[in-house]
Amino acid sequence: MKLYYSPGACSLSPHIALREAGLAFEPVLASTKTHKLADGSDYYEVNPLGYVPMLELDDGTRLREGPAIVQYIADQVPTKNLAPANGTLPRYRLQEWLTFIGTEIHKTFSPLFNANMPEDGKKISRERLASRFAWLNGELAGKQYLMGDSFSVADGYLFTVTNWAKPMAIDLTPYPNLLAYRERIAARPAVQEAMKTEGLLK
């Protein structure tokens, strides 16, 4: 398998999932700025949408969209318990979390990365993020992970997008449960391995 990624982007989520799963894969750097691969070829030829992540299977099949990719990865190694079994209520809870993270956190960060976004628009995004972080802080009270005591692919996704708080000058100290949760995720060997590979940790 190949994972097309850009350092620190949302592709860190499936990168973490692959390391947690222990699956063999090749990380392929795909710059989200130049849209070029290391060999100079055009990434748009791999993904016409131009963004990461993209998971290419051994038979050449390609999967886009992080939440779909991480569920695929989890289902390859069911004994790792990265996702509950298909058809069970806990699996729908996982999908609920992945959808929430994608629509309410990930996409709310997007305007903050847009240099053309007026400051008033960015202010609205920051306020929305603050309300979502406050809710998350309550949800994490007394829990190790989003799904309870077991790490799931949703945790890798939430960790990835909340990493963007620091470069966007968003203070997470009002949310102690979220901060403690992030420390737990950051300490996981698979997470550290993924971040080192992407040059995010020395």
SS3 annotation, 9-66 = CCCHHHHHHHHHHCCCCEEEEECCCCCEECCCCEHHHCCCCCCCCEEECCCCCEEECH
Residue 116 CA to residue 104 CA, distance in Å, equals 21
Residue 76 CA to residue 3 CA, distance in Å, equals 15
Q: Which residue ranges make up each domain of the chain?
A: 2-80+190-197, 89-188
Q: Are 112 and 165 in contact (CB under 8 A)?
A: no
Residues 6 or more apart from 102 whose CB is under 8 A from it? 66, 67, 157
Residue 170 CA to residue 49 CA, distance in Å, equals 29
| Token output for 95 | 């999908």
- Angle made by CA atoms 34, 111, 172, in degrees to the nearest 5: 110
Number of H helices, E strands in the chain: 8, 4
Query: Which residues does the chain have with pLDDT short of 70?
Result: none
Q: Are 49 and 192 in contact (CB under 8 A)?
A: no
pLDDT, one tens digit per residue, over 129-183 is: 999 999 999 999 999 999 999 999 999 999 999 999 999 999 999 999 999 999 9
Q: What is the pLDDT of residue 33?
A: 87
Q: What is the pLDDT of residue 164?
A: 98
CA-based torsion, 137, 143, 144, 146: positive or negative:
negative
Give the CATH fold of the 89-188 domain: Glutathione S-transferase Yfyf (Class Pi); Chain A, domain 2 (1.20.1050)
The CATH superfamily assigned to 2-80+190-197 is Glutaredoxin (3.40.30.10)
pTM: 0.96
Q: How far does the chain reach from its first CA to its final CA, in angstroms? A: 26
